[in-house]
Amino acid sequence: MKPILETYEEAVHEVQDGATILVGGFGLVGIPENLILALKEKGTKDLTVISNNCGVDDWGLGLLLKNKQIKKMIGSYVGENKEFERQVLSGELEVELIPQGTLAERIRAGGAGIPAFYTPAGVGTPIAEGKEVRTFNGKEYLLEEAIHADFSFVRALKGDIMGNLIYNKTARNFNPMIAAAGKVTIAEVEELVDIGELEPDRIHTPSIYVQKVIVGEQQKKIERLTTR
């Protein structure tokens, strides 16, 4: 059995100033929102956060950004956050933008124990500056290094007491690869079940990648509401 935590305060207790954190989600879909809220309340600062994006101004990682807790953001998309834009232009926030596929593969490689790989994405652009370029079959490729983190925050629909996880539809997004790439992975689950209640063929993240589990309800806010 993995430790089943009672409070979100306990879940983020080990996250100290200067930590590097991988955070699951795509927009506001599949984000570990309660772990983010707990980190905001804890006030941990000088964080390096790696995620597809930085939430919106009033939810998700945008809360940590607004609270000046993020020193560096590594991601692939930043278009929904005005505070992000303000901090970048004022020099308050360091940013590393990565093509989305490259970001996903760098995280996946980190979890798989692959130190680096070659990709054609970014060749001939500012992304290639300072990076090794090699030619394979007449085409140029960049060397990109794997991403690891001190902590991984993920969110799942269901988890069992061993730490096996199942994600809900598109909330799967970056969560499985992020779960594998952190030294300590904390899983926020909506429903906790006993061993044997998850169908083995449906498990997305095996328990070996998960160190801690906590159960909590989600607000599941909508990033951009579209109606007819």
Is the per-residue pLDDT at 227 higher than 90? no
Distance of alpha carbon 187 from alpha carbon 35, whole angstroms: 9
Dihedral sign for Cα atoms in the order 159, 160, 165, 166: negative
CATH number of the domain at 131, please. Answer: 3.40.1080.10
Question: Above pLDDT 90, what percent of the chain?
Answer: 89
Q: By the 8 A CB rule, do 219 and 36 touch? A: no
Tokens of 163: 């730490």
Q: Residue 79 pLDDT > 80, yes or no?
A: no
Q: Report the predicted TM-score, pTM, of the whole model to 2 decimal places.
A: 0.95
Alpha helix positions (H), the chain: 8-11, 33-42, 61-66, 82-89, 100-112, 175-181
pLDDT at 221 over 90: no
Would you state the pLDDT for residue 28? 93
Residue 228 lies in a domain: no
On whether residue 221 sits in a domain, the answer given is no
Whether residue 194 lies inside any domain: the answer is yes
Asked whether residue 107 is assigned to any structural domain, the reply reads: yes
Alpha-carbon distance values, 199 to 3, 176, 195 (Å): 22, 17, 10
Residues 6+ apart with CB under 8 A from 204: 156, 165, 166, 167, 172, 175, 176
Residue 60 lies in a domain: yes
151 pLDDT band, cuts 50/70/90, is very high
Picking from 128, 121, 71, 116, the residue whose alpha carbon sits closest to that of residue 100 is 121
Range name among 20-29, 70-79, 218-227 with the lowest pLDDT average:
218-227
Number of domains forming the structure of the chain: 1
Asked if residues 205 and 197 have their Cβ atoms less than 8 Å apart, the reply is no
Helix (H, G, I), strand (E, B) or coil at 154: strand
Q: Does residue 15 carry a pLDDT above 80?
A: yes
pLDDT digits (tens, 9 = 90+) for 116-128: 999 999 999 999 9
CA angle 214, 16, 210 (to 5 degrees): 35
Give the whole-angstrom CA distance, residue 56 versus residue 94: 18
Write down the pLDDT at residue 80.
76
Note whether residue 222 is domain-resident: no
Q: What is the mean pLDDT of residues 155-182?
A: 98
CA distance 208 to 187: 12
Question: Considering the chain, what percentage of its residues have pLDDT values greater than 70?
Answer: 100
The answer to whether position 224 is within a domain reads: no
d(CA 27, CA 171): 10
Report the pLDDT value the prediction gives residue 70, as an integer from 0 to 100: 98
**Least confident stretch, 159-168, 173-182, 213-222:** 213-222
**Contact present, 69 and 45 (Cβ < 8 Å):** yes
pLDDT digit string, tens, across residues 40-53:
999 999 999 999 99
- pLDDT at residue 139 is higher than 80: yes
Question: Could you tell me the CA-to-CA distances from 1 to 32, 173, 194, 208 in Å, in that order?
Answer: 21, 26, 10, 11
Establish if 175 belongs to a structural domain.
yes
Question: What is the SS3 string spanning 16-68?
Answer: CCCCEEEECCECCECCCHHHHHHHHHHCCCCEEEECCCCCECCECHHHHHHCC
Can you give the residue range of the structural domain that contains 171? 4-215
